[in-house]
């Protein structure tokens, strides 16, 4: 089982990035996939997740951002690939972004390796 995250990098404030996370080698169903992010010295916090039926959930901190279109999660269910479109990036968005995938009912969670996002002011 492998989750390959990509799309991170260095961007100026106000710019955009699109993170991708592709799951491979997974047999059996995957339900929820999503993104956490982590800054040094802090716990990982949920950015957003998306279920196999397309329902989305944004972490409390990011709900307003999602309404403004700053963070948008999407999924290609056929490929077990998710995306996180991030716009109007701010320096405080600098973090390592981790993707995850859950079995139904949370029976098992798989993690990707993390991708660094750095937003310069």
Distance CA 55, CA 45 (A): 19
Distance of CA 16 to the CA centre of its chain: 14
The DSSP result for 83-103, as a single string, is EEEE-S--GGG-EEEEEEEE-
> How do residues 65-110 score in pLDDT, each as one tens digit?
877 889 999 998 777 899 999 999 999 999 999 999 999 888 899 9
Helices (H), 3-117: 63-67
Q: Give the pLDDT confidence score for residue 106 in this predicted structure.
A: 80
Q: Give the pLDDT confidence score for residue 69 in this predicted structure.
A: 84
């Amino acid at each position: 089982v492998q989750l390959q995250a990509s799309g991170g990098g260095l961007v100026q404030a106000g710019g955009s990035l699109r993170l991708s996370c592709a799951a491979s080698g997974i047999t059996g169903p995957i339900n929820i996939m999503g993104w956490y992010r982590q800054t040094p010295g802090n716990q990982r916090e949920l950015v957003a997740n998306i279920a196999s039926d397309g329902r989305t959930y944004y972490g409390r901190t990011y709900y307003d951002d999602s309404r403004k279109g700053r963070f948008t999660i999407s999924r290609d269910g056929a490929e077990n690939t998710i995306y996180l479109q991030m716009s109007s990036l701010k320096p405080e968005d600098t973090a390592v972004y981790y993707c995850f995938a859950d079995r139904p009912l949370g029976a098992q969670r798989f993690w990707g390796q993390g991708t660094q996002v750095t937003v310069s002011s």
